Structure 1
Amino acid sequence: MSRKRGIDSMMGRIILAVGFVLAGCVHLIAPQVYLKIVPPYLPAHLSIVYISGVAEILGGLGLLVASTRQAAAWGLIALLIAVLPANIYMATAHLDAPGIMGQSWAQWLRVPLQLPLIYWAWLYTRTR
C-alpha cells in the first residue's frame, strides 16, 4: 500500500471513529433525542438507546486499535443494520424533531445514508 493511500485510509478511519464516538456520547448525554425514534414495538427504549450509544463508542474506539479494528468494523456494520428500523420508523411516522431532522425529506434521507456508512465501516473489516 502506498504511503498516501495509507494516510487516506487512516484519516478516513479516524473520521469514522470520531463520528461514532461523538454520536454514542450524544446517546448517553441526551437520550431523549433518540427515545422517540425507537419503534414502539421494541421493549426497553431507554436501555436500547444506552446500549446503542455504548456500542457506537466502543466500535469507534475499536477502529483506532489495530488488534480490534476488524471486529469493531463488523460490530459497527451490525449496529448500523440494527438501527435501520429506527430510521425507517422516524421517516414513516414523521416524528417531530428539532431543526432539519424535523423535515420529512431529511428523515427519509437517513434511511439510504446507512448504506455508505455500512460500506465505510466495511472498508476496515479487511486485514492489511
Structure 2
Amino acid sequence: MQNLKKFSLTVLIVGYLLAGANHFYNPASYYHIIPKYLPWPVLLNTLSGIFEILLASLMISPKTRNIAAIGIVLMLIAFLPVHIQMVIDAPFMLGGKWVVTPFIAWLRLVVFQPLLILWAWWHRK
C-alpha cells in the first residue's frame, strides 16, 4: 500500500504540474470553457494555472501536503461551474482537436471530478 500511495502521489503531482503548465501553453482552449457569466476569463485561466502548479509543488513536501491537498479539493470544487457549463454546451470542440460529447461532459462532471477530489483528499496526510 505504501508503494501504491507513493506512486499515486507522484502521478498526482506530475499531473497537476502539467495541467497547470497547459493553462499557459494552450490558454485559448480554457477561455472557451469558462462560463460567460464569470468575468475576466484570461485572469481566471492564469490563476488556475498558477494555483495548479503551486498546489502540486506544495504536495511534494510532507510538511505542506495537508494544506496543498485541501487546496486542490477546494480548487476542484471551484472548477465545478466550468464542468457544468461543459455539460450545457456539449457537444463542442475543445482546443480545436477534441470533441466533447454530452457523454464525456457528464463523465467529467459526475465521475472524474469526484474521483479527483477523493484522490487529493487521500493524500492530505
| TM-score, length basis structure 1 | 0.89
Q: CA 1:105–1:90 in 2, change beyond 3 Å: closer, same or farther? A: same
Superposition deviation, residue 99 in structure 1: 4.3
* TM alignment of 1:4-43, pairs within 5 A: 5-43=1-39
Three-state SS of the structure 2 residue aligned to 1:64 is coil
Q: CA 1:108–1:100 in 2, change beyond 3 Å: closer, same or farther? A: farther
Find the aligned partners of 1:44 and 1:91 in 2 and give their Cα distance: 21
Gaps of at least 5 residues in structure 2 are none
Find the aligned partners of 1:45 and 1:106 in 2 and give their Cα distance: 23
* TM alignment of 1:68-87, pairs within 5 A: 68-87=64-83
The question of 1:102 aligning with 2:100 is answered yes
Find the aligned partners of 1:91 and 1:53 in 2 and give their Cα distance: 22
Q: Deviations over 1:54-104 (max 9, x none)?
A: 111111111111111111100000000000110110111123324444322
Question: Comparing both structures, which one devotes a greater share of its residues to strand?
Answer: 2
Question: Relative to structure 2, which stretch is displaced further, 59-68 or 49-58?
Answer: 59-68
**1:81 maps to amino acid:** I
Aligned residues: 122
Runs of 4+ in 1 over 6 A off after TM superposition: none
Gaps of at least 5 residues in structure 1 are none
**1:48 maps to amino acid:** L
